[in-house]
Amino acid sequence: MTDLTKQSGIGLVFILAFALAACSGSGSAGNDPSQPTPPTTGDTGFFNLSISDAPIKDAAKVCIRFDGVELKHADSDERETIDFEQPQVVNLLAHQGANSHPIVTGAEIPAGEYEWIRLKVLAERGLSGGVNDANPDSEICDEETESSYLVRKSGGLFNLFIPSGSQRGLQLIKNIVIPANRTGEYTAEWDLGKSFNGPPGLLPDVMMKPVVKLVANNEVGTLVGQVADELVALESCDAEFPPSVYVFDDGIVPNPFDDPFAEDDAVATALVERQTQDDGSRPWRYSIGFLLAGDYEVAFTCNGNDFIPLAGKPATIVVDEVTTVNFDFEDAPGTLVGQVDGVLVAPESCSADFDPAVYVFEEGVEPNFVDDPVATGEVVLDSTTEQYGYSIPLQAANYNAAFTCTGTDFIPVAGKSAEILPATATTLDFLAGDAPAQVGSLSGRVAAALVEADTCSADFEPAVYVFNKDVTPNDTDDPVATGPVILQSSSEAWEYLIADLLVDTYTAAFTCTGNVFVPEEGSPAVISSGEVTPLDF
């Protein structure tokens, strides 16, 4: 086991004969003339550790006191301890994005694999962290503070405490490799946006539950980009929420924070801030450093709940390279909103085990239950207006939408077209008239004596005529529908069927002449939706 005591100055003074320069970010110092002369035995290597941060709103500085570092061997319980002779107090906010601050540089430890690293952070409740900070408004921390502390932009200096931090420190689990005669360079990337989630009522202390990931500098790249002014000024933005960019693993749909350790949570965040460029312009920009190489989904949010674009933008991070992803106004989703006629949502029209909803399909796709919809939105009753309505966020494009409350049929059958524009609400209502007509059928038998009567006309086909309910059968008014009477060989009976009659009450009669009807006054026929009404003559 190695127990090293580190001395600190502006950075750290090494116990080695030569110093290894610490870069402000990732990269290798293999050709740096300041690198220590490697040992000839080949059983040791060098360890570099830097600190970086993803920022947080309303913090002027977050000063973390580090008293040392401990590494555990992967193949044994032995540990390598690096204790600082003087505490390292680092303002995390001064080292954001691709920038970092070294706290261990060129420490010689046994080469090999390590299971975890522990940051010895002093942040205990009841201490007076930062109480002697002569200039809380500056980026410089009090190097002699007895504990970590926080200074807010809105005013106030608070002692930080990390539950169990004094006993366990911050343990970061990762396969750490220190190569023989070479340097293993790592960065502890803090996400302050997820770290301050402790309960209120602890003043003058503030509880911190650090969310920190350890990355090898030869495994990471940087993500940067610009955000359109219009996106930061959307009506949906929350004045209390800082504009931010969230990074999710590939395939994860952007979603709000819930559990910092949930699989679908963001792996990194960055504030979107005005940055002065060489030409004097001040666009909104962001920077996220120390992202592991790989594929991600990236999205912008200005309220923490809604993301632009809805599904994120793909980003491929390459080692030691800078990937650019910009967010334009055209990336902003619009909204499809509208009302649904209460008649369509009536219990007699819907399935009890299916929630009324609006389905949105790509343009040109007729509504169906085979193809996946682009999106769906539940239809709910607004207790204030007593109207059924829905709201569905969608990326700008043309779509086809339809309502269903059965899970088997859509209204209208062919759907309704909808054009969605960025950051704009498009209204699309579903009315009773959009529903396909409710129809039923009329069917029955006709006595052979009527069909084969001597009074029947030889040149007239026997039929059943259907008239409106208040019409007495006659040869002057046009019937609503007619149906031929046919002898069925299987039953040897004369039968008829009239389909697709609108739901209503009618008068029906048989005729084999076209002008004489049986019965003369007709028979009432009540047609119900989807049913066959029997009526014999």
pLDDT 10s digits, 207-254: 888 888 899 999 999 999 999 999 999 999 999 899 999 999 999 999
Condensed to tens digits (0 to 9), the pLDDT of residues 16-72 reads 222 222 223 333 333 333 333 333 345 899 999 999 887 677 788 999 999 999 999
| pLDDT value for 17 | 26
Specify burial of residue 328 (Cβ count, 10 A radius: 0-12, 13-18, 19+). middle
- In order, the DSSP letters of 437-456 are PPEEEEEEEE-HHHHT-TTS
Domain boundaries, the chain: 3-210, 221-330, 334-434, 439-534
The residue assigned the tokens 């029997």 is 534
| pLDDT value for 261 | 61
**Residue 218 has what DSSP assignment?**
G
CA–CA distance, 90 with 65 (Å, rounded to integer):
7
- Cα angle at 405 between 401 and 409, to 5 degrees? 65
The size of the chain, in residues, is: 537
| pLDDT value for 167 | 60
Q: CA quadruple 260, 265, 266, 268: dihedral positive or negative?
A: positive
CB atoms within 10 A of CB 40: 7
Instruction: Write the single-letter amino acid at 276.
Output: T
If DSSP codes are grouped into helix, strand and coil, which group holds residue 232? helix
If DSSP codes are grouped into helix, strand and coil, which group holds residue 329? helix
First-last CA distance in the chain: 105
What is the phi/psi pair of residue 434, to 5°? -75, -20
- In order, the DSSP letters of 250-272 are TTPPP---S-TT-TTS-SEEEE-
| pLDDT value for 534 | 97
What is the percentage of the chain residues whose pLDDT exceeds 70?
89
What is the phi/psi pair of residue 296, to 5°? -140, 165
| pLDDT value for 12 | 28
If DSSP codes are grouped into helix, strand and coil, which group holds residue 377? strand
CA–CA distance, 373 with 359 (Å, rounded to integer):
6
Strand partners, 227: 284, 327
Class assignment of domain 439-534?
mainly beta
Q: Which CA distances in Å does 506 have to 130, 285, 380, 450?
A: 89, 71, 37, 21
Q: Do domains 221-330 and 439-534 have the same CATH topology?
A: yes
Condensed to tens digits (0 to 9), the pLDDT of residues 155-196 reads 889 999 888 765 667 888 888 999 988 999 999 988 877 777
Q: From 3.30.420.40, 3.30.460.20, 2.60.40.1120, 2.40.30.10, which CATH number describes the 334-434 domain?
A: 2.60.40.1120
Q: What tokens appear for 40 in the block? A: 């000839």
CA–CA distance, 60 with 87 (Å, rounded to integer):
21
If DSSP codes are grouped into helix, strand and coil, which group holds residue 187? strand
| pLDDT value for 257 | 77
| pLDDT value for 529 | 84
Q: From 2.60.40.1120, 3.10.20.810, 3.30.499.10, 2.40.160.20, which CATH number describes the 221-330 domain?
A: 2.60.40.1120
Residues of the chain with pLDDT under 50: 5-41
CA–CA distance, 38 with 182 (Å, rounded to integer):
7
Give, for 427, the enclosing helix (H) or strand (E): strand 425-427
Contact 114, 72 (CB under 8 A): yes
